[in-house]
A and B are shown apart, each in its own frame.
Chain A
Amino acid sequence: MRGVTAKARYSSRDNTECDTTERVFDYADVLSDNEEEKLRSLIAKRERQCGCDIVLVTLDRSLKDEAREIDPDVDYEEFVRIYAEQFYEEHNFGYDRANGDGTILVDNWYREDDGNIYTWLTTTGRAYDKMSDYDVDYVLDDVYRYIERNPYRAYKTYVNGVYRQMTGSGLFRLRVPGWIPWLAGIIAALGFLLFNWNSKKGASTVTAFTYVAGKQAQFPVRQDRFLRKSVTQHTIQTSSSGGSSGHSSGGGGGHSSGSHGGGGHHR
């Protein structure tokens, strides 16, 4: 149902400057042809549904030299960021316009000389607005959950994760940590134990009338005599604010072409 709504909202792609229709760049060759094809189909569908370009790049080479050519002081974890942003801008990705709405995941399988493998997820345009650093980390966490044993599944999770972040709301955007099902299980088991753990001997079924002859007491004297009355008063304090209760909000931060957000992980 959510997909249908999204389809209606993002039915057309306005960017005509992008130089490729390819979205899956498996330079590291970690995916089979069939897996690449399935990812392309999924990405095409998700792009239409969420109105964002979704790009995947896998690499298996060091990015140290080319990154340090651009910025000599750049850290290891930033190599993939520089590559991702350059790649996105070079091909003019973006759903609404060149360098517009979209995301790119660069997963470099090469172990840099610091011993780590780096991955970066870059967000641009609406994706930048919608996905906080926390959201990006969340998607990358899910990607890393599968990356070593099933890269296809990991990248599929990336595509679906971006789609979910871009279109989901309410329950579908809930951040549910992996331990929640375990906690639910423990709570349910404890609840089951408490519910079934009966340590009561029995309940008393004797009432005040049980042993009273005729089941009622007699009241030969029953008087309620009014004595006096007292009245106190106090003024109710009310709010003196008379202005409207409307909210004003500042203008949203615009993003010029080429500005990106995102985050990275290493393994």
Chain B
Amino acid sequence: MLFKCKNCGGNVVFEPSRQKMYCPHCEGEDSENLVTGGSAAQCLNCGAPLELPEDASAARCSHCGSYLIFDERVEGALRPNLVLPFRLNKEQAVAKLNQEFSNRVFTPSDFMSTKSLEQMEGDYVPFWLYDFQAQYDFVGEGTRVRTWRSGNTEYVETSYYEVVRRMDADFDKVPVDASYQMDDSVMDLMEPYDYQALENFDPKFMSGFYAQIYNQPPQELESRARDKAGHASEELLQQSLSGYGTMRPLRKNLNLQPKGAFYALLPVWRYRYRYRNQDYLFYVNGQTGKVIGVSPVSRPKVLFYSASVFALVTAVCGLALRFLWML
């Protein structure tokens, strides 16, 4: 499918800064007309053949530049339940990257060059969002220690307590990315997203961006979500056990009851920067602006700055010592 402008026939896209459909050709707002059909093999607008990964559900035609959404990959079992629309547009994402990396002195000079940034693209990453109901039963023996002195004698009083807790917590939409393309550790760092802005799926939000279908079904990824909820449950329980010097668990049982899993698309700006024949990937959370990535290091800059600091400090120390000596 494709969104075309009623006014000018141009490709209408979702503009994050306006939170509206927008035609960049005639600057019309909400002027979209949905054109269905087409396939992932051929551009619905210009008919050019498309060469796309099998899991792409939205992409841009390299010939005419239109943003296409592939009907068969957003329907049936592949239809997302939810989508979190982009809140940051490309310029705002670039500004976030700039803010993060502009003060890093070893970053190559052309890291944020216009030419490099042309490669930056907005992706909807497939996620499974899991709901769990957690019930944690805990029994332990805790101690509290009090110490005092009387004359030359030191007393240590240890009090023992039976500590019983039953904790209930509802975990709401624990996210796990379902894309092979995305590094799990990177996607975990992209969290959290603000779910208040979640919308029921509408393909219009995909226009203007790339997207993928999920590569793994929810059953396959549930264990990762369980781990996340389990760690959080443990931490919440531990917070309720404060005030004890030691705690010896006697019985503990965490029951995580799955309540449902939702297929959602979450927004990420992806920037691929090539330096010395190596690709460096950077991600900007398309909603919150959180930046993830390790910047490359420019060897000439490292040498220049290190040598400068070395020369400066050596000279200053040498002069200072000579000055002290000559006093």
Contacts and interface: CB of A to CB of B under 8 A. Distances in A.
Interface residues of A, number: 58
Contacts of B290: 202, 205
Interface in A220-236: 220-236
Interface stretch (B86-94, B112-120, B199-207, B316-324): B316-324
B154 interface: yes
Interface stretch (B38-46, B54-62, B70-78, B158-166): B158-166
A210 B161 contact: no
Most buried by B among A182, A213, A217: A217
Contact of A192 (B240, B309, B325): B309
A213 B162 contact: no
Contact of B153 (A176, A199, A234): A234
B6 interface: no
B236 A229 contact: no
Given A227-B161, A229-B158, A233-B153, A188 B169 contact: no
A196 to B, nearest CB: 5
A232 B153 CA distance: 10
B34 interface: no
Interface string B238-265: 0110000000000000000000000000
A218 interface: yes
A259 interface: no
- B-side interface size class: 35 or more
Nearest to A237: B152
Contact of B232 (A172, A193, A211, A234): A211
A238 interface: yes
B317 A225 contact: no
Contact of B318 (A181, A201, A228): A181
Given A184-B313, A210-B191, A193 B318 contact: no
Contacts of A181: 313-315, 317-318, 321
Given A184-B317, A205-B290, A225 B167 contact: no
A201 B158 contact: no
Given A180-B317, A188-B310, A204 B153 contact: no
A206 interface: yes
Contact of B294 (A185, A199, A227): A199
25 contacts: A181-B313, A181-B314, A181-B315, A185-B310, A185-B311, A185-B312, A185-B317, A189-B310, A189-B313, A192-B306, A196-B105, A201-B292, A201-B294, A208-B233, A208-B236, A211-B229, A212-B172, A212-B236, A213-B172, A217-B134, A217-B169, A222-B240, A224-B161, A229-B157, A230-B160
Given A181-B313, A214-B170, A222-B165, 15 more contacts: A176-B321, A184-B313, A184-B314, A185-B313, A185-B317, A199-B294, A202-B189, A204-B189, A217-B233, A217-B236, A218-B167, A220-B166, A222-B240, A227-B141, A231-B157
Interface of B: 104-106, 134, 141-142, 149, 152-174, 185-186, 188-189, 191-192, 228-229, 231-233, 235-237, 239-240, 290-295, 297, 302, 305-307, 309-315, 317-318, 321, 324-327
